Structure 1
Amino acid sequence: MGEHGGTPEQGEPDLCDFCGAVVDDDTELYALVPDSSVIHAHDPKFDGKRLVSACTEEHRHRLAEQYRRRPFVDAEQWAGKVLRAVEKNRGRRIDDAVLVELTGLTVDQIHAGVAWHSERARAFRDRRDRDDGPSY
């Protein structure tokens, strides 16, 4: 038996995304919520949509409210679409015209997504360098 009562053949049990309680197939509730950080591996129609699991109707409602209040950042979504296209087409020369074709975005959206991603990477490096400090 696993830590939460599941067997290895069953895999890990599902947990409520709100409270972490173990839920089973008979009681699990779902909601599809907006989330600009979600990029589907293969199908762009699922981009920006996160499937959350809940153990009660109240927790499903509270999860949906949390995600409704979270800003949906278009540039974050565009960055993810660009990264997916680049990853899927490694070794291929990719310019703006090809990215427009692969992502369905405009050139301005592509540039905004790349700028958003670059700024986040720069901020991460700055925090890391500041937190690590000098190594003597």
Structure 2
Amino acid sequence: MNGPVAQAVSGNPAFAEQYTGFRNAAHEALGKALKAQVRHAVAQVHGLEFAPGDSAAPVQSDDEATQICVAYARRIPFEHTAITDAQAAQVVGAIGEPGYVALSVVAALADAECRAAMVDLPGLAA
């Protein structure tokens, strides 16, 4: 794993290993294509071209499930408390409960990674 959070926690190898394992498990549970679109959507909310550690825009998918998931992910950085039960249920209906959990984790971690990059967290942690 690379990026500002990985750099910031690298001084604590046990924590870095646990964080990386947790992050990777969420990414794998969501799937490569949807993970890329979610991370890209969150980065765009922050005004970034790409999420930290990513180097290319994902292939866009126009299927309804992906659109529902990306719309949900875009709300995580600044509007997470305004997400309604109905909107969450829409995601669950599109990708199932395990997918909803993975989506929420991937979007939240992407948000944290973008914020960490924007404030130079590795430099602050040094």
Specify if TM > 0.5: no
TM-score normalised by structure 2 residue count: 0.33
Answer 1 or 2: higher relative contact order, Cα 8 Å, separation at least 6. Answer: 2
Whichever of the two has the greater Rg, that structure is 1
TM-score normalised by structure 1 residue count: 0.31
